[in-house]
Chains A and B, each alone.
Chain A
C-alpha cells in the first residue's frame, strides 16, 4: 500500500531561496509518486517577507498553509510547530533552500512508510570546496565519538519522519543538527539514505565565528545530555576530583613545609590551593544537588522506550 498523505514542513530560517519555484520543485516529484502533500511554511517574525511569499501560493489555491509565530525562535521549534499542526502522520522536513535533488524525496517518504521512524538524506558525490569539506570533516569527526552517532551528513536537514517520533524527541534550540542522533537515543529506528546533492548546494560558504562557537557549545551540550543526564555526579564529581585534588596536593605540600618551619603566610600557593579546593568542593556539591533532583523526579520519568508493537512479526502473539 502506498502512503497517501504527507505533510511537508519547511521552517523559514536564515537562508531562503525564492519560495515559489522551490515549492514547485518539491511538489512535482511528490505528486508524481502519488503522494498528496500539504505544505506548511513556518516562520518567526524575522522571516515575515518569506511568509508573505508563501501566502501568495496559498491564495493561488495551492495546498499550502502558512504558520506565523509571534516569538523569534530557532529551526527546532519551527519544525515542532509544523509537526504539531500537520494533518498527516508522515512528515517531510525540508530546508527552504536546495540541498538535494527533489526526485529523492519520495524515496525517503517511502522508507518511513515501510516502517522506519525517520529517514534522513545524506548527500553523496558531493562536490565542495576544500574549506567546506574540512569544516564538515572536523565537525563529524568531533561529533562521532561524542554522540556515538554513525551518521554521515548531520548538516543536510532533509528528512522524512513519523510525526509521533519527532514530537517525542526532545529537541530545542540549535540541537536540531543532532536530530538523527537524538532520535536514535530515544529508541527510534533512524536510517540514512543517499541522495544526489543539488548543484546549487555546491557553492563556497563562510560562517562567522559565532556559528563555530554555537556548534562547539552544542557538541559539549549533547555530550553532557547523552552521558550524564541521569548520573550528573559522574560528570561534576570528576571535575571536582581533579580540581580539588590539585588544591589538596598544593595545601598538603604547604602543610609539610610549615611543619618543617617554612613560613607560608605570604605564599600565593596557599591562596591558589584554597581556590582549587573550593572549586572542587563546589563542583561536587553541584553534582550532588543535581543527583537529588534526578532521584526525586525519577517517578515522573520512564528510563526506556518500548519497541513499537506494529513491527512486522507482532501478529504471532498468543490469543
Chain B
C-alpha cells in the first residue's frame, strides 16, 4: 500500500513525472522551467526517470536533485523504453495529482497549473492536445492524424492527440494503470477501459524540438495497429472473452455448413462423374475444426480471466459522489 502522510514521508499534492532518455541538453532547462511554473511552494515534486541514458543526463539530474529537495531522480537499470519508464515514475510519484510530460522541452511546464485546475473541475484524466504543432506535416503530423482518428473510432474515447505526453491524472487512475509494452500511446483509452476514468482534453503549447533526436519514425504504424486491436479487445472482452471467441466459432461453423450445402447442391445439380473429386467435404471439415479450436481457445481465455482477473476485478471502477 501507499505510505500515508502520518508515517513521516513527505507527500506533496502534485507529482510531475518526466521520463528522460539521453536528454543532457534539456534536463537543466526542464527543471528550471518546472520550478518557474510551479513556484516556490513545497507542495509539488518533480520525478525525473532516467531510462538508461548513456550521456550526461544522470549527472545533471543528480545535481538538480542535490540543489532542490523537490526534485527526485529514479534510475532504471537499463534502457527499457518510454512506457516502462513512465510506469516507474507512476510507482514513485507520491502526489494526489500526477502530471506527465516529455523530457525534450516540447511541452511547456507553464501549462501544468491549467491542467491541474481543469482536473479539479471533476475529471480523472486531463489530456493535453498540441495546438499549432511544430512538426513536419508529412512524416509526423499526417500519420499522427490518421492514428488519432483510428484510435478515436476504435476506442470510443474522444481524444484528438494521443501522442501528447502532457497529461494530468488523479492518483486513483495512476494506481489502476499498469502500463507495459508501448501502451503509453493509449493511456486515455486504457484508463477508460480499465478504470472507467472521466476524461477530457484541453489545448497546450507545443515547442519545436530544440535538442537531441526525435525517437520516433514512420515504422511504428503496424505496431500501433496491433496495439489498437489489443486495446479494442481488452475494452470489449476483458470480462467475458468467451463471447468474442464463441461468436467467431459460430461464423466458422456457418462456413462449415455452407460447404456441406455446397456439397449437396453439387452432388444433385451437376451429378459429377467422380463424387470423391469434390473438395467441399474437406473444406467443411477445416471450418468445423476451426470452430472447435476457437471455442476451446475461448474457454482457455475465460479460464485466464478467472485465474488472473481477480486482482483486476477487485479494482472497482472510479466513482464520485456529488458534493
Contacts and interface: CB of A to CB of B under 8 A. Distances in A.
Interface of B is mostly: helix
Interface stretch (A1-9, A53-61, A311-319): A311-319
Interface residues of A, number: 49
A185 B50 CA distance: 17
B272 interface: yes
B301 A289 contact: yes
B202 interface: no
Contacts of B157: none
Interface residues of B, number: 63
A304 interface: yes
A81 B19 CA distance: 38
Nearest to A263: B270
A233 B226 contact: yes
B69 A285 contact: no
A154 B229 CA distance: 38
Nearest to A234: B226
Interface string B295-323: 00100110011001101100100000000
Contacts of B83: 303
Given A289-B301, A318-B69, A299 B312 contact: yes
Contact of B283 (A188, A271, A281, A307): A271
A293 interface: yes
Contacts of B230: 233, 288, 291, 295
A274 B287 contact: yes
Contact of B77 (A188, A278, A282, A319): A188
A44 to B, nearest CB: 31
A267 B297 contact: no
A259 to B, nearest CB: 15
A228 to B, nearest CB: 10
Interface stretch (B24-32, B95-103, B174-182): B174-182
A257 to B, nearest CB: 14
Interface of A: 184-188, 230-231, 233-234, 237, 263, 265-268, 270-271, 274-275, 278, 281-282, 285-286, 288-289, 291-308, 313, 316-319
A289 B182 CA distance: 18
5 contacts: A234-B226, A265-B270, A281-B248, A292-B233, A304-B87
B238 interface: yes
Contact of B308 (A231, A267, A296, A319): A296
Contact of A316 (B62, B77, B280): B62
B181 A266 contact: no
Contacts of B87: 302-304
B146 interface: no
Contacts of A237: 226, 229
Contacts of B297: 285-286, 289
A265 B241 contact: no
A233, A237, A299 pick with most chain B CB within 10 angstroms: A299
A106 B273 CA distance: 83
Nearest to B283: A274
Contact of A307 (B77, B229, B279, B301): B77
B234 A318 contact: no
B300 A265 contact: no
B277 interface: yes
Contacts of A270: 279, 283
B66 A316 contact: yes
B14 interface: no
Contact of B80 (A301, A303, A316, A318): A303
B88 A265 contact: no
B282 to A, nearest CB: 5
B257 interface: no
B140 to A, nearest CB: 23
B65 interface: yes
Given A292-B237, A303-B179, 8 more contacts: A187-B76, A187-B77, A230-B181, A231-B227, A233-B229, A296-B308, A299-B178, A318-B69
Contacts of A271: 279, 282-283, 286
Contacts of A292: 233-234, 237-238, 241, 301, 304-305
B91 to A, nearest CB: 8
A285, A295, A305, A316 pick with most chain B CB within 10 angstroms: A295
A47 B288 CA distance: 50
B290 A281 contact: yes
A293 B69 CA distance: 41
Contacts of B181: 230-231, 294, 303
A318 B65 contact: yes
B221 interface: no
Given A296-B309, A316-B62, A289 B300 contact: yes
B290 A282 contact: yes
